[in-house]
Amino acid sequence: MPTFSPHEILTLIDQQPRYELGDSIGPSLRLADLLSPELADLELGYGTCAGDAELRRAIAERYGVGPDDVVVTVGGVHGVFLLSYLLVEPGAQVVMTAPLFPITRTIVESLGADVRVVPLTFDEGYRLTADAVRAHLTPDTRLVSLTTPQNPSGVAIPLSTLREVAHAMAEICPTASLLVDDTYRTAVYGDAPLAHPAVSLGPRVVSVASVSKCHGAAGLRIGWVVTTDAELVAALIMAKAKTVISHSPVSEALALRLFAREDEILAERRSWLAENLAMTEDWVRANSDLVEWVRPDAGATCAIRLGPAVDLDRFRQETAELGAHLAHGEWFDDVPNVSYLGFGFLPPADLKGALDALRRALLASCVRRAG
């Protein structure tokens, strides 16, 4: 029967190490940050299948579309699931990259998809080209699934590249959809500009995101799908109705409060990310004889690669003993000597302690050569 296999990435939720460096989120908001007196009068009935109208309007404004182009989902992953369920039949071809967030691939594999993987590598800076995607497209392709900025590398795919991918799909597989997960789009550093939403590229391009990563509100389980394809919107609403019926009106009301304070919340988090990124960059530079990295474009994680002088097994043992929890490359279909360091979760003072612990682990794991 169809099933979902266990995966080590779930340790990011189930474990509480001293230094959590594997997570791809910033610090969590607290309920008190979003509460207001009017919420006491909120009726605890069903919400609507499409999602609260005001919430859909707030999301639509951020994508330059209308509220009828938005469906609220139970987190971004619910949106990915519904889209995959609607667009991918057994044997259908799906093109995606690796490394990637493993649940994205698990979903389409559980539906019996023929997954074609575009490999991205550390040496090439995890940069995706349209030609690499084109090489995997066939008339049987039904879905191309991309993430920008990527999870877990934080490397962004330029809008120009996405446009080239959409043009290649229109030529080779015109009925296929391009799914762009842009959950980390607003997690820029300091005053860096936001990337333009990919959904602007046309009705065959669908965006998915949530308030879980950039906004620190994973517990609300608020995500969304944005598409200007009215037929797909109707299918998504029906699929949502027949799986979860509606979202919690409490979560939707709190999400509206979050969006009302979004500028303030994101400004604080972007400053936090910029400070922690600079600290991480200094750490990489100070340890460049033992480790290297790919500097991310946005988001709260980066890829680091151990040098040949570091014994991987010993390093993992040392980090575990020091209470530092990194995300392993294999979790994301990357090579073992690459790890993903989440620099956005810990306060700066705690991140410094965590990076100091990683340095001790690196030094303790150096291969000693005779002579």
Q: Is residue 197 part of a domain?
A: yes
Q: Are residues 22 and 53 in the same domain?
A: no
Q: Is residue 124 part of a domain?
A: yes
Q: Are residues 268 and 144 in the same domain?
A: no
Question: How many structural domains does the chain have?
Answer: 2
Q: How many CA atoms lie within 13 A of 325 on its CB side?
A: 18
Query: Which domain range does residue 18 map to?
Result: 8-27+263-363
Domain boundary among 261, 296, 328: 261
Q: Are residues 147 and 183 in the same domain?
A: yes
Q: Are residues 85 and 173 in the same domain?
A: yes
Q: Is residue 121 part of a domain?
A: yes
Distant-in-sequence, close-in-space partners of 168: CB < 8 Å, separation ≥ 6? 130, 133, 134, 137
Q: In which band, very low, low, confident or very high, does the pLDDT at 107 lie, cut at 50, 70 and 90?
A: very high
Q: Which residue has the higher pLDDT, 170 or 30?
A: 170
Q: Are residues 131 and 21 in the same domain?
A: no
Residue 134, SS3?
Answer: helix
Q: Residue 15: what pLDDT?
A: 62
Q: Residue 18: what pLDDT?
A: 72
DSSP class of residue 248 equals -
Summarised one tens digit per residue, pLDDT across range 121-135 is: 999 999 999 999 999
DSSP secondary structure, 308-341, as one string: TTB-HHHHHHHHHHTTEEPEEGGGGT--TTEEEE
Taking phi first (over 0 means left), then psi (-120 to 50 degrees means alpha), and beta for anything else, what does residue 112 get? left
Report CA torsion sign: 288, 291, 297, 299: negative
In the structure encoding, which two tokens stand for residue 199, read together? 């959904």
Summarised one tens digit per residue, pLDDT across range 11-64 is: 655 567 776 777 777 788 888 899 888 888 888 999 999 999 999 999 999 999
DSSP secondary structure, 140-174, as one string: TEEEEEEESS-TTT-PPPPHHHHHHHHHHHHHH-T
Domain boundary among 205, 227, 261: 261
Q: Are residues 221 and 125 in the same domain?
A: yes
Q: Are residues 275 and 316 in the same domain?
A: yes
CB of 302 closer than 8 Å to CB of 154 = yes
Q: Is residue 267 part of a domain?
A: yes
Distant-in-sequence, close-in-space partners of 165: CB < 8 Å, separation ≥ 6? 130, 133, 134, 144, 146, 178
Domain boundary among 261, 279, 302: 261
Q: Are residues 209 and 121 in the same domain?
A: yes
Q: Are residues 238 and 122 in the same domain?
A: yes
In the structure encoding, which two tokens stand for residue 309, read together? 């002088």
User: Which CATH number do you get for residue 162?
Assistant: 3.40.640.10
Short-list 120, 102, 33, 49, CA closest to 335: 120
Average pLDDT of the segment spanning 337-351: 93
Q: Is residue 1 part of a domain?
A: no
Q: Is residue 368 part of a domain?
A: no
At 10, which amino acid appears? L
Strands (E), the chain: 19-20, 70-74, 93-98, 114-119, 141-147, 177-181, 205-210, 222-226, 291-294, 301-306, 324-325, 327-328, 338-342
CB of 225 closer than 8 Å to CB of 82 = yes
Q: Are residues 205 and 151 in the same domain?
A: yes
Share of the chain above pLDDT 90, in %: 85
Mean pLDDT of the chain: 93
Q: Residue 11: what pLDDT?
A: 60
Q: Are residues 110 and 247 in the same domain?
A: yes
User: Which CATH number do you get for residue 269?
Assistant: 3.90.1150.10
Q: Are residues 139 and 183 in the same domain?
A: yes
In the structure encoding, which two tokens stand for residue 85, read together? 């369920």
Cα dihedral 115, 182, 187, 360, rounded to 10, equals: 0
In the structure encoding, which two tokens stand for residue 78, read together? 């619910």
Q: Is residue 39 part of a domain?
A: no
94 pLDDT higher than 80? yes
Q: Is residue 369 part of a domain?
A: no
369 pLDDT higher than 50? no
Summarised one tens digit per residue, pLDDT across range 230-255 is: 999 999 999 999 999 999 999 999 99
